Amino acid sequence: MTSYRESAPCHRFCVAPMMDCTDRHDRAFLRQFSRHTLLYTEMLTSGALLHGDTERLLRFSPEEQPVALQLGGSEPGDLAAAARMAERAGYREVNLNLGCPSDRVQGGNFGACLMREPERVATCVSAMQSTVEIPVTVKCRIGVDDIDSDEDLLDFIGRLAQAGCRTFIIHARIAILKGLSPKQNREVPPLNYARVSRVKQAFPELEVVINGGIDSLDTAADLLREFDGVMLGREAYGNPFLLSKVDEIIFGEPAGTRTRLDYLDGFLPYVERELRQGTPLRHITRHMLGLFRGQPGGRRFRRHLSTHGNRREAPLEVLLDAMSHVA
């Protein structure tokens, strides 16, 4: 793909990178609802990009833009090489994952455990920055295990800022690496927006994006009075129609009038194209199950897709029939 040299992406409203969720089909689907939301890939490891099926891993559709790639890794040279691949593929940004608490990620010495090694992270950021022209950003927690103070976080941010990072996406919970699952780490440690606020106060020149516990656009708009951007995760995935108001509420565009079915109609050409290329229907429709959440016929829509859409050769008609339950 041709390398992009476009303006840096806007972080005012972002959808978080989520494993097993924000694949290319989900991003193409979410793009139907908002032109301006910045979308992120699932985390890809530098090792997978260097030694795996690079073309498949980096594949995305032009209509997904703006889209950023999240990397996991801890070796500066490998991360720099992976960042170059991302830039050549056309991604608008490379984001370094410093927040994932899973055992598998810890075993690879990346994710949240790297917050214990600020000098190593700074070296990684510097190596990536020197290699690519697109922005290199960081997504981290407010702390990890016993490293849990304002001073620790401010020191960490300061070191990465000196290495050249200008944008920090901060999940406002600490990561507890032993004893909590990744799901529990999204829910059990208490939110501490005040600590993220102190980062912005200490580094007003940096772009600070807040993440964690944001479940409505009203909450997002309130937080934007203090922070440069907001990032939603599970709520955006489980309730994609929420994004239909983002361009109006967050970016000041005129209100839209399209219904849930209108958005789904607009997505059908993508689905048809992917089916012709051999993509199983279920790989696409699994991301649609929350579209009619709380709506009449929504349960029948989900049941129809779950019952009839899982066959390897399921045709487009399965989706069209599901849509008839909510028409």
Position 122 pLDDT exceeds 80:
yes
Identify the active-site residue in 21, 100, 113, 165. 100
In this structure, is residue 255 part of a structural domain? no
In this structure, is residue 254 part of a structural domain? no
pLDDT above 70 as % of the chain: 96
Token digits of residue 318? 């399965």
Number of neighbouring beta carbons within 10 Å of residue 50: 16
Shared domain for 237 and 273, answered yes or no, is no
- Name the DSSP class of 147: B
Shared domain for 160 and 305, answered yes or no, is no
Choose the final residue of a domain: 225, 249, 273. Answer: 249
Going through 130-213 in order, the beta strands assigned E by DSSP cover: 136-144, 167-175, 207-211
In this structure, is residue 4 part of a structural domain? no
pLDDT in the model for residue 5: 43
In this structure, is residue 264 part of a structural domain? yes
Shared domain for 62 and 192, answered yes or no, is yes
When divided into structural domains, the chain yields a total of 2
In this structure, is residue 167 part of a structural domain? yes
Position 1 pLDDT exceeds 90:
no
Which domain CATH number covers 316?
1.20.120
CA distances to 68, 78, 286, 291 from 240, in Å? 19, 35, 12, 6
**3-state class (DSSP) for residue 278:** coil
Given a contact cutoff of 8 angstroms between Cβ atoms, the answer to whether 160 and 112 are in contact is no
- Which pLDDT tens digit goes with each residue over 257-309? 999 999 999 999 999 999 999 999 999 999 999 999 999 999 999 999 999 99
- Tell me the residue range of the domain where 317 lies: 260-324
- Which pLDDT tens digit goes with each residue over 62-74? 999 999 999 999 9
Token digits of residue 126? 């510097």
- Measured CA to CA, the distance from residue 125 to residue 2 in angstroms comes to 24
Choose the final residue of a domain: 191, 223, 249. Answer: 249
Going through 135-225 in order, the beta strands assigned E by DSSP cover: 136-144, 167-175, 207-211
Dihedral (Cα; 93, 96, 100, 105), 10-degree rounding: 120
Shared domain for 59 and 156, answered yes or no, is yes
Q: What is the mean pLDDT of residues 15-38?
A: 98
Shared domain for 45 and 107, answered yes or no, is yes
Q: What is the mean pLDDT of residues 111-126?
A: 96
Residue 306, class by beta-carbon neighbours within 10 Å (0-12 exposed, 13-18 middle, 19+ buried)?
middle
Number of neighbouring beta carbons within 10 Å of residue 52: 12
Shared domain for 150 and 269, answered yes or no, is no
Confidence of residue 4 (pLDDT cuts 50, 70, 90): very low
Please say if 100 is a catalytic residue.
yes
Given a contact cutoff of 8 angstroms between Cβ atoms, the answer to whether 163 and 156 are in contact is no
Choose the final residue of a domain: 195, 230, 249. Answer: 249
Position 143 pLDDT exceeds 80:
yes
Shared domain for 288 and 214, answered yes or no, is no
pLDDT in the model for residue 7: 63
- Measured CA to CA, the distance from residue 74 to residue 100 in angstroms comes to 13
In this structure, is residue 156 part of a structural domain? yes
Q: Which contiguous run of DSSP H or E holds residue 202?
A: helix 193-202
Shared domain for 274 and 230, answered yes or no, is no
Provide the β-strand partners of residue 147.
144
- Measured CA to CA, the distance from residue 66 to residue 117 in angstroms comes to 31
Which domain CATH number covers 197?
3.20.20.70
Shared domain for 47 and 191, answered yes or no, is yes
pLDDT in the model for residue 72: 96
CA quadruple 256, 259, 262, 266: dihedral positive or negative? Answer: positive
pLDDT in the model for residue 6: 52
Token digits of residue 327? 């028409």
**Main-chain dihedrals φ then ψ at residue 194, nearest 5 degrees:** -60, -35
**3-state class (DSSP) for residue 296:** coil
- Please give the distance of CA 288 from its chain centroid, rounded to a whole number: 17
Shared domain for 72 and 215, answered yes or no, is yes
- Measured CA to CA, the distance from residue 321 to residue 140 in angstroms comes to 43
Residue 6, class by beta-carbon neighbours within 10 Å (0-12 exposed, 13-18 middle, 19+ buried)?
exposed
Mean pLDDT of the chain: 95
- Measured CA to CA, the distance from residue 30 to residue 41 in angstroms comes to 12
